Structure 1
Amino acid sequence: MMHILKKSTIACLSMLALLSGGSASAAPPLELVAQTPLPAVTGGDFDHFAVDLAKNRLFVPSEVYQSIEVFELSSGKHLHSVTGTVQGPHMLEYIADQNALFVADARNGYCDVLDASDFHLIKRITLRPGADFGVYDARTRLIYLGNGGKALKADNSVISVISVDTREVVGEIPVQAAVIKGMQLDVQRNRLYVNLRDKSQVAVVDLASRSVTASWTFPGLTGNAAMGFDALHRRLFVGARNPGVMFVVDPDSGKLVGTFGTVNISDDMTYDPVAQRLIVSGADGVDVFAQDNPDTYRLLQHVDTLGGKTSVYVPSLKQFYVVHTKGVQAPQAGLQVFKVN
């Protein structure tokens, strides 16, 4: 039977299981190892990160402060702030063989291409206003980036298809929604799953025809932004924001498998196929779930992240990063670095 378990109930059950099982001394899934303050960033949200493994860098966009904050990936040390180029940075994508950073600039209506050595502007790819979330398909070297919609006071948006090699828009996928959020690639079926937040729906995009072929909705799905994907076990994870609920979906049938309580206002979900865990970050903190089987999940740990809701996991370093803004929960903005056990 499908049901919603409150986070507090799951936490109590998890603690009892640990105590009764004699494994209370085991290391928690996430351990805080570094905190880096950002006193100069005095307000506004951060958005989705990019990682440069070869040069040991983490890039974090600050939307209102109009900057890209650069950190040392291994330690979390703040290296510098990139200002004066982007006006409303959202999703970032780093292309290693070009040493180029692609930046969705919502305010300007561009995808800016920056040289990641000194961050000068290489090219400005014109889009509609409101460029926000996107994903990179390394197979085809294409970025799928949502834009338009609410920023134009319109009920329809597009997903622009951008070639990282020609640095041009090579196609568009029309979407009947004002707000496009989280996306996940399904390489096995050559699909893109897309959160349509204002519609409380998940759209299925066929990448061959570049068209929406189906849309799904489920009772209680509202404010859906975060999305994760387990390719091996064929499970799609969708986060409702308020109240915080994780929806587990069979992407082959479009059927709801189950729902589980989690943090409110989730913005990122990461599935770790090695540990078979799902990490959900939201305004209430981070929840780490164990996947007992494709249909059953247990809360292992809840971590306070001072309101940080955007995150990224770097498997090769076994480190997880969350950034929080200045606000009620934190006197100043900052980055938290967690060791993943």
Structure 2
Amino acid sequence: MKLSQALSGTAVALTFLFGTAAHAATPDEPVKLIKTIPLPDITDGDFDHFAVDLKRNRLYVSVENHHSIDVFNLKTGEHLMSGGPVTTPHSLGINVAKNELFVADGGDHALKVLDGKDLHLIRRIGFDGAPDSASYDPKTRYVYLVASAPDDHPTHSIIHIISTEDLSNKGEIPIDAGSLHSMTIDQTTRRMFVNIRDKSTIGVIDLNRNALVRIWTVPGLTMNTPMAFDAKNHRLFVADKKPGKLFVLNSDTGARVATYDCTEGGDDMTYDARTKRIYVSATQGLTAYQQDDADHYHEIARVDTHGGKTSVLVPSLNQLYIPHTRTAAPEAGLEIYKVAD
């Protein structure tokens, strides 16, 4: 589960204006592009992750080399603002109740708390390493924030635990690795899974002890980056950047259940429990799968996203958002897709 999805989980759903018959996705076209918002001012760099505030009808996107947080109207797609005191923003999250935006700023080695209304800085929490990936635990209301290995300890990363209520430090989880990417939490067992990408393994963390308790080695896994979780069926989904592969694992044992081809360069993945679908966004495009049962899946769509590698699904709106730079398109833009329900 993404930090943005979890933090906005208590928000009230709004009616989406693009949901007309002309734009509706169908079983024959389960993912349909309905609108592209041009972003001509973003001329270089890369997009990273999202935060969604359904209550206030806002979508936040981190734009790394543009050094900004860009804000959109969820209903119309209108580009509302670009700003924020950020250097290289990565993972985002929104505390809807307090209207506070959490930004993992790798360039400034800090977690920044911004006002969701106008993006002014509320609090800066500094770290030795560069923050990147993050996950939110709705049970404790803690953010688990990965700080990459500092220069003087290139194989030592730390997952920092920060309370979103009082912004206090609740602990640290050290991991001997130089590159950690994507985390997801199994609330039933109080375990958190994390991709240890530089070692092509998956770490299992006991959240009751805040300790790494197991490392899974999966045959064929390499450059594992995005991750998603199916709690009901005890399945962990992990995608390789190159070659493009989707791995389905038993989340109780780490055993590989199945492997499927997908687009290369994956950076985001979502499992939608309502529709039993998986969406993997990558530089080579979006790959969507249908879950037949816990052990079997089949590909239902492959879509050119013009290099867009990050995405966020808003299930209550049946909308998927994917930004792209101008590398594979005349100009940067935010693509809005309708997904079949």
Q: TM-score, normalised by structure 2?
A: 0.90
Gaps of 5+ in 1: 1-24
**TM-aligned CA deviation for residue 129 of structure 1:** 2.9
Equivalent position of 1:334 in the other structure: 333
Q: Deviations over 1:97-135 (max 9, x none)?
A: 110001000011110001111211111011223100001
Provide the rounded CA distance (Å) in 1 between the counterparts of 2:104 and 2:317: 26
Provide the rounded CA distance (Å) in 1 between the counterparts of 2:57 and 2:298: 33
Equivalent position of 1:13 in the other structure: none
- Counterpart secondary structure, 1:309: coil
Equivalent position of 1:43 in the other structure: 44
Q: Deviations over 1:290-321 (max 9, x none)?
A: 11111111110111100001000001111011
Provide the rounded CA distance (Å) in 2 between the counterparts of 1:44 and 1:152: 27
Does the aligned pair in 1 maintain the 2:324–2:333 contact within 8 Å? yes
Gaps of 5+ in 2: 1-25
Give the superposed CA RMSD.
1.2
Equivalent position of 1:310 in the other structure: 310
Provide the rounded CA distance (Å) in 1 between the counterparts of 2:152 and 2:79: 36
Amino acid at match of 1:130: A
Amino acid at match of 2:338: K
**TM-aligned CA deviation for residue 76 of structure 1:** 1.8
Query: Which runs of 4 or more aligned residues in structure 1 lie more than 4 Å from their structure 2 counterparts after TM superposition?
Result: 150-153
Amino acid at match of 1:223: M
Equivalent position of 1:58 in the other structure: 59
Equivalent position of 2:298 in the other structure: 298
Does the aligned pair in 2 maintain the 1:100–1:114 contact within 8 Å? yes
Provide the rounded CA distance (Å) in 2 between the counterparts of 1:143 and 1:168: 11
Provide the rounded CA distance (Å) in 1 between the counterparts of 2:325 and 2:236: 29
Provide the rounded CA distance (Å) in 2 between the counterparts of 1:193 and 1:45: 26
Amino acid at match of 2:251: P
Which stretch shows the higher mean deviation, 71-80 or 143-152? 143-152
Does the aligned pair in 2 maintain the 1:107–1:129 contact within 8 Å? no
Q: What is the 5 A alignment of 1:91-170?
A: 91-149=91-149, 154-170=154-170
- Counterpart secondary structure, 1:222: coil
**TM-aligned CA deviation for residue 150 of structure 1:** 5.9
Provide the rounded CA distance (Å) in 2 between the counterparts of 1:47 and 1:69: 11
CA gap of 1:26–1:159, structure 2 versus 1, over 3 A, is: closer
CA gap of 1:40–1:152, structure 2 versus 1, over 3 A, is: farther
CA gap of 1:276–1:152, structure 2 versus 1, over 3 A, is: farther
Equivalent position of 2:32 in the other structure: 31
Provide the rounded CA distance (Å) in 2 between the counterparts of 1:224 and 1:158: 18
Equivalent position of 1:80 in the other structure: 81
Amino acid at match of 1:55: R
Amino acid at match of 2:294: P
- Counterpart secondary structure, 2:165: coil
- Counterpart secondary structure, 1:316: helix
The question of 1:186 aligning with 2:206 is answered no
Q: Deviations over 1:210-267 (max 9, x none)?
A: 0000011222211111001111111000011111000110010111111111010111
Equivalent position of 1:243 in the other structure: 243
- Percentage of matched positions with identical amino acids: 44
Judging by fraction of residues, say which structure has more helix: 1
**TM-aligned CA deviation for residue 287 of structure 1:** 0.7
Does the aligned pair in 1 maintain the 2:244–2:263 contact within 8 Å? yes
Does the aligned pair in 2 maintain the 1:223–1:240 contact within 8 Å? yes
Provide the rounded CA distance (Å) in 1 between the counterparts of 2:275 and 2:300: 12
Provide the rounded CA distance (Å) in 2 between the counterparts of 1:262 and 1:297: 12
Does the aligned pair in 2 maintain the 1:157–1:175 contact within 8 Å? yes
Q: What is the 5 A alignment of 1:263-274?
A: 263-274=263-274
Amino acid at match of 2:61: V
Equivalent position of 2:196 in the other structure: 196
Provide the rounded CA distance (Å) in 2 between the counterparts of 1:128 and 1:145: 13
CA gap of 1:224–1:151, structure 2 versus 1, over 3 A, is: farther
CA gap of 1:152–1:109, structure 2 versus 1, over 3 A, is: farther
Amino acid at match of 1:182: S
Amino acid at match of 1:42: T
- Counterpart secondary structure, 1:49: strand
- Counterpart secondary structure, 2:97: helix
Does the aligned pair in 1 maintain the 2:159–2:174 contact within 8 Å? yes
Q: Deviations over 1:183-215 (max 9, x none)?
A: 111111101100011010110010010000001
CA gap of 1:182–1:117, structure 2 versus 1, over 3 A, is: same
Does the aligned pair in 2 maintain the 1:108–1:129 contact within 8 Å? no
Provide the rounded CA distance (Å) in 2 between the counterparts of 1:133 and 1:265: 17
Q: TM-score, normalised by structure 1?
A: 0.90
Provide the rounded CA distance (Å) in 2 between the counterparts of 1:261 and 1:276: 18
Q: Deviations over 1:122-156 (max 9, x none)?
A: 11011223100001111111000000316656101
**TM-aligned CA deviation for residue 90 of structure 1:** 0.5
Amino acid at match of 1:167: L
Provide the rounded CA distance (Å) in 1 between the counterparts of 2:163 and 2:276: 33
Does the aligned pair in 1 maintain the 2:132–2:148 contact within 8 Å? no
